[in-house]
Amino acid sequence: MSTDARGPAAPPASPRALPRRTVAQYAIGSLGTGGFATLPGLVLTYYLTDSLGVAAILAGVIVSAAKIWDVIIDPVIGALTDRDLARHGTRRRLMLVGSLALPVLFAVTFAVPPALGPIVGAIWVLVAFLLTATAFSLFQVPYIALPAELTESYDARTTLLTWRVVVLTFAILLFGAGGPLLRTVTGDPTTGYLVMGIVAGITIGVGMLIATGAARHALATRPVMEVAGSATAAEAEFVADEIAGTSGTTTDASPSAFGSGIRANYRAAIDALRRSQPFRALLATFLLQALATGLMLAGAQYLATWVLKSEDAVTFLFVALIAPALFAAPGWGWLARRNGKERVFAVASIVFAIAALATVGAIWAPGAWIYLPVAFAGIAYAGMQSLPMAMLPDVIAHDAQRNGPGRAGAFGGVWTAGETTGFALGATALSIVLAATGYIASTAGESVTQPATALTGIVISFSVVPAALIAVSLVTLARYRLRRQDIESQQD
């Protein structure tokens, strides 16, 4: 055991087991994150083009604008939540604000009176969805940062994030299948979308609110002195001041980027990208895969309506996609504990790409057979969600060991911005394909016939393009060099 002028160094803390209550509270948050990621991506573009009469390209611009806004604000929220952690000992404040504001704003997004016309309706949706996305980011960014602070264990993080993805897949099934059904309960598209917005908004908000309880457990049992790795209370206080940006001196190793200015907040995000090669590789991989899945998500309703000839078929698509994932997520976690997260992540990605590519046959022979490759994609999707989420806390812990703690919010902000960028570009890519292939927008109740080129574009957007994006993501994943021994050596 090493010594210094202050006496013997404290022995390293052993990885802390996670109470079941903490795991459950954190996992339930994915009821909110899964709902918000699924339902707008599934129905918002379709709501604009087929209920409000907004042109496809403009609908894509609206959805993308909200996501671009996320990219702008997420790094700022990341820095703010890190400062909350240092000053108040918890990340709960922003999580609570987002949880309480989102239900109202989500309902307003789908409350457009059709009589206002396409232009006013488009502006209404744009403003309301921007505000909704802001509320969601206030919750999502600190939520993403929590796992690195809840446990130091490589395998415990896999378990924590596995259960989160179990709830996430259930949420995708619930909102993906239930949301479209809710909009039909009144028999009128206008009031149906409003009912869907109210019920879904409340459900998302409740899930988010429950998850704020997990934020208490991270710091309640991990005081600032332990988080800082400091031997004395005076040193712990100094580290807290450094994280809060209130000390008189700063160094490159200190989290001084979390100052009061917006420029400093962005610098914290850029520094996180610059310092951590594993983070850059993992983020690039996840962004490309979010683009692929976002494209499929946005195209599912169009595939159901125009290729499978039934709006209700979107429910069966989601059951086929998510029901297998509910059972597959624990299996991916078990494989990761035996073989390493990054290797199993690559396997899941390959399976997803092959399954997505198989659906291209719907161009020539649309039919119920498509649910089989979608089910295989669902099995793979569970691994594509749980494993990178379990790898992110490892990346954060690795950076903290090298450069000092207190930056998890900055990493979470960049991660959330990357994820939302991917989903936004997915919807944008779909809208471009629809516009280029001659898709005809319509208002609620209006009957149109889509050209064959538009039908082909819908299928290609659901199959060939996502498969190609996953293939590219494997190249960036190969650059991820963090392994189990790198994480476990930090605990020795």
For residue 265, the model assigns a pLDDT of 63
Q: What is the mean pLDDT of residues 50-56?
A: 85
- Calpha distance 355→381 (Å, rounded): 10
For residue 264, the model assigns a pLDDT of 67
Contact 179, 248 (CB under 8 A): no
Task: Give the confidence band of 345 by pLDDT, cuts at 50, 70, 90.
Answer: very high
For residue 129, the model assigns a pLDDT of 93
- Give the model confidence (pLDDT) of 317-335 as tens digits: 878 877 887 788 788 888 9
For residue 258, the model assigns a pLDDT of 39
Alpha helical stretches, state H, 276-407: 277-302, 313-339, 341-358, 371-403
Q: What is the mean pLDDT of residues 56-84?
A: 81
Closest CA to 422 of 264, 326, 298: 298
Task: Give the confidence band of 481 by pLDDT, cuts at 50, 70, 90.
Answer: confident
Domains of the chain with bracketed CATH: 18-491 (1.20.1250.20)
Task: Give the confidence band of 446 by pLDDT, cuts at 50, 70, 90.
Answer: low
Residue 11 has pLDDT above 60, yes or no: no
Residue 110 has pLDDT above 70, yes or no: yes
Task: Give the confidence band of 363 by pLDDT, cuts at 50, 70, 90.
Answer: very high
Q: What is the mean pLDDT of residues 198-222?
A: 80
Element (H, E) at 7: strand 7-8
More confident residue, 34 or 129: 129
Least confident span in 108-117, 266-275, 299-308: 266-275
For residue 448, the model assigns a pLDDT of 76
Q: Buried b vs exposed e over 106-131: b needs ≥16 C-beta within 10 Å?
A: bbbbbbbeeeeebeebbebbbebbbb
Contact 68, 257 (CB under 8 A): no
Q: What is the mean pLDDT of residues 454-472?
A: 93
- By CB atoms closer than 10 A (0-12, 13-18, 19+), residue 468 is middle
For residue 255, the model assigns a pLDDT of 39
More confident residue, 173 or 350: 350
More confident residue, 281 or 263: 281
Mean pLDDT, rounded, of the chain: 79
- Give the model confidence (pLDDT) of 134-184 as tens digits: 999 899 888 887 887 777 776 777 778 778 878 887 887 788 778 878 888
Contact 75, 268 (CB under 8 A): yes
**End-to-end alpha-carbon separation of the chain, Å?**
11
Task: Give the confidence band of 369 by pLDDT, cuts at 50, 70, 90.
Answer: very high
For residue 17, the model assigns a pLDDT of 62
- Residue matched to tokens 């280029």: 436
- Does this model's pTM top 0.75? no
- Top mean-pLDDT range of 46-55, 137-146, 192-201, 215-224: 192-201
Contact 429, 465 (CB under 8 A): yes
Question: What single DSSP character describes residue 4?
Answer: E
- Calpha distance 418→238 (Å, rounded): 32
Residue 251 has pLDDT above 70, yes or no: no
For residue 405, the model assigns a pLDDT of 65
For residue 76, the model assigns a pLDDT of 82
Distances (CA, A) of 136 to 35, 43, 143, 257, 276: 11, 18, 10, 24, 26
Residue 21 has pLDDT above 80, yes or no: yes
Distances (CA, A) of 334 to 119, 156, 159, 394: 51, 12, 9, 17
